[in-house]
């Protein structure tokens, strides 16, 4: 049997399991599971993972372990990101998972997370030879990576993910103009280092990493009557005008409208709004001329490192 590897991306909203085996210079996916654990539910009040979210997270990993055993996996890597590194009871969660499943979770810092994201995006071949900004909007954090298709020039992780921004700024339905303005002012307060770095490196390309960007692409393609199968598509480029119209539509939408749209995953029904505000604002602020999307992200970056 070929060597099989399991990678788990344990995010603030969703846990992912990817089981793959080496296939020449690439990898073949044998199993991909995701579970909407919402570990960062309600923005983790008082800095703690809520008891209900804690239980959902452990149960998800018990289920992942069954799949790992079924597929005869030989190597396992479980990566904990924003919620686990910032929660006061994150260590308790890691210990509980190890006790019940034997899985050892590694809680990585934001810089390491950004490095894995770069490797995942790079492996799609979507990065051009000139300089790009990779944007990964997670539930707990947002990662920015300035790079080309060979090297990283600057990277940073900020604990301003969509779940945190939604709790802080999105209280009206639809989101109000005042809330949008407050969110954009907050970005300006938090991101001056990133703005300076993009100016220094003359960034005009943006590559969105999985998550919300998959939803943007699927919505755009569905409106044109096209299929969008993320199991077969590694990356794609947006028509800039189509993307900006889609972002505007999502920002103006109501919760019932989004909930009724089969192309918006349940876990993103509300967080897609602040993700759209962030994306639109950064495209305008940074004068981005070209935007692309990568389905591959952290877990594929970890997998690429393990296969090497």
CATH architecture of 4-108: 2-Layer Sandwich (3.30)
Report whether CATH 3.40.50.620 matches the domain 127-297.
Answer: no
Give pLDDT, residue 27: 82
Residue percentage of the chain with pLDDT more than 70 = 99
Q: Which residue has the higher pLDDT, 305 or 143?
A: 143
Mean pLDDT on 123-146: 96
As a whole number of Å, the end-to-end CA separation of the chain is 19
pLDDT digits (tens, 9 = 90+) for 35-67: 999 998 887 878 999 999 999 999 999 999 999
Residue percentage of the chain with pLDDT more than 90 = 87
How far apart CA 117 and CA 109 sit, in angstroms, is 13
Mean pLDDT on 94-108: 97
**Is beta strand 290-294 parallel, antiparallel or unpaired with respect to 235-237?**
antiparallel
pLDDT digits (tens, 9 = 90+) for 20-32: 997 776 788 999 9
Give pLDDT, residue 233: 87
Range name among 16-30, 141-155, 285-299 with the lowest pLDDT average: 16-30
**Is beta strand 132-137 parallel, antiparallel or unpaired with respect to 105-107?**
unpaired
**91, pLDDT greater than 70:** yes
Give pLDDT, residue 25: 66
How far apart CA 171 and CA 113 sit, in angstroms, is 30
SS3 content of the chain, % helix, strand, coil (to 5): 45, 20, 30
Ranges for all domains in the chain classified under CATH 3.30.420.150 = 127-297
Ranges for all domains in the chain classified under CATH 3.30.420.40 = 4-108
Mean pLDDT of the chain: 94
How far apart CA 233 and CA 220 sit, in angstroms, is 15
Query: Cis omega before residue 157 (within 30°)?
Result: no
Q: Which residues are bridge partners to 17 per DSSP? A: 8, 33
pLDDT digits (tens, 9 = 90+) for 171-226: 999 999 999 999 999 999 999 999 999 999 999 999 999 899 999 999 999 999 88
pLDDT digits (tens, 9 = 90+) for 145-175: 999 999 999 999 999 999 999 999 999 999 9
**Phi and psi for 144 in degrees, rounded to 5?**
-120, 130
Give pLDDT, residue 43: 76
- Coil, strand, or helix at residue 6? strand
């Amino acid at each position: 049997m070929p060597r099989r590897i399991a990678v788990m991306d344990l995010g603030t909203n969703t846990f992912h399991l990817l089981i793959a085996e080496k296939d020449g210079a690439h990898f073949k996916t044998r199993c991909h599971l995701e579970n909407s654990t919402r570990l960062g539910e309600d923005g983790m009040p008082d800095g703690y993972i809520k008891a209900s979210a804690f239980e959902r997270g452990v149960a998800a990993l018990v289920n992942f372990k069954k799949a790992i055993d079924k597929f005869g996996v030989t190597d396992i890597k479980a990566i904990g990101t924003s919620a686990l590194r910032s929660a006061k009871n994150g260590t308790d969660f890691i210990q509980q998972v190890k006790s019940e499943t034997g899985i050892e979770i590694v809680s990585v810092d934001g810089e390491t997370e950004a490095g894995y994201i770069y490797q995942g995006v790079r492996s799609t071949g979507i990065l051009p030879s000139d300089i790009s900004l990779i944007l990964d909007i997670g539930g707990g954090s947002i990662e920015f990576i300035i790079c080309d298709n060979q090297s990283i020039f600057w990277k940073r992780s900020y604990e301003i993910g969509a779940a945190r921004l939604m709790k802080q700024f999105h209280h009206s339905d639809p989101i109000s103009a005042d809330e949008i303005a407050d969110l954009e002012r907050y970005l300006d307060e938090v991101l001056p280092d990133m703005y300076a770095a993009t100016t220094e490196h003359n960034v005009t390309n943006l590559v969105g990493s999985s998550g919300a960007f998959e939803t943007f692409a699927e919505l755009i393609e569905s409106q044109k009557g096209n299929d969008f199968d993320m199991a077969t598509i590694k990356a794609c480029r947006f028509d800039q005008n189509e993307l900006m119209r889609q972002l505007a539509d999502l920002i103006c939408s109501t919760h019932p409208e989004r909930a009724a749209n089969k192309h918006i995953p349940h876990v993103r029904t509300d967080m897609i709004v602040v993700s759209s505000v962030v994306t639109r604002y950064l495209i305008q602020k940074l004068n981005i001329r070209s935007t692309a999307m990568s389905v591959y992200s952290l877990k594929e970056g970890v997998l690429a490192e393990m296969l090497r």
